[in-house]
């Protein structure tokens, strides 16, 4: 049984009416290889554009970034905020005549990154009590993905240096 004040204990938790889920949503900003540049974990009822505002300051250190590919949920104020940092925003949207699924430009890199995360049992469902601990487990999962994909071990590099 949940008590009304447990929201403070569990952190940001909300209900996404569109997907019919409660909990948290993960937001990623990835490069063309699907490697994360910024990660944000927020309440499920938080709009994607608001979560995008949380991602943009994390991207300031990415000097080579010039174009952000996003879906229609990031239209409007998010675009204006991104232009403030000097980045162009390309909104991909399906043509009105589209009847079946067609992969949209720039979306598959993000979807592949989410698929990598879903291979980890701890991340397949939201077990964490706080967004900070969920973020830590996402970072650990990506660290292991790097080791698998590139044969790079973070522990070896720490021990050498």
pLDDT in tens, 39-48: 999 888 888 8
pTM summary value: 0.75
What digits encode the pLDDT tens for the residues 4-36? 444 444 556 655 556 666 678 888 998 888 889
Distance CA 133, CA 64 (A): 29
- Name residue, tokens 């969920």: 134
Tell me which fold the domain 12-160 belongs to.
Nucleotidyltransferase; domain 5 (3.30.420)
Q: Where are the domains of the chain?
A: 12-160
Buried b (16+ CB within 10 A) or exposed e, 15-33: ebeeeeeebbbbbbbbeee
For strands 21-30 and 36-43, give the pairing.
antiparallel
Distance CA 109, CA 91 (A): 15
What digits encode the pLDDT tens for the residues 51-107? 888 899 999 888 888 888 888 888 888 899 899 889 999 888 777 787 777 777 777
Residue (of 60, 24, 35, 46) closest to 132 by Cα position = 24
The three-class DSSP label of residue 43 is: strand
C-beta separation of 114 from 29 below 8 A: no
């Amino acid at each position: 049984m949940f008590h009304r004040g447990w929201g403070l204990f569990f952190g940001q938790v909300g209900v996404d009416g569109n997907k019919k889920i409660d909990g948290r949503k993960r937001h990623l900003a990835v490069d063309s290889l699907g490697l994360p540049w910024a990660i944000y974990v927020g309440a499920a009822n938080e709009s994607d554009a608001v979560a995008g505002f949380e991602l943009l300051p994390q991207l300031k250190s990415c000097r080579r970034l010039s174009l952000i590919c996003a879906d229609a949920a990031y239209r409007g104020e998010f675009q204006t905020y991104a232009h403030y940092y000097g980045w162009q925003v390309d909104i991909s949207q399906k043509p009105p005549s589209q009847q079946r699924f067609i992969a949209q430009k720039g979306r598959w890199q993000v979807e592949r990154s989410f698929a990598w995360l879903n291979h980890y049992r701890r991340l397949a469902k939201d077990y964490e009590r706080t967004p900070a601990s969920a973020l830590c487990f996402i970072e650990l999962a990506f660290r292991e993905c790097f080791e698998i994909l590139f044969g790079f071990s973070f522990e070896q590099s720490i021990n050498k240096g």
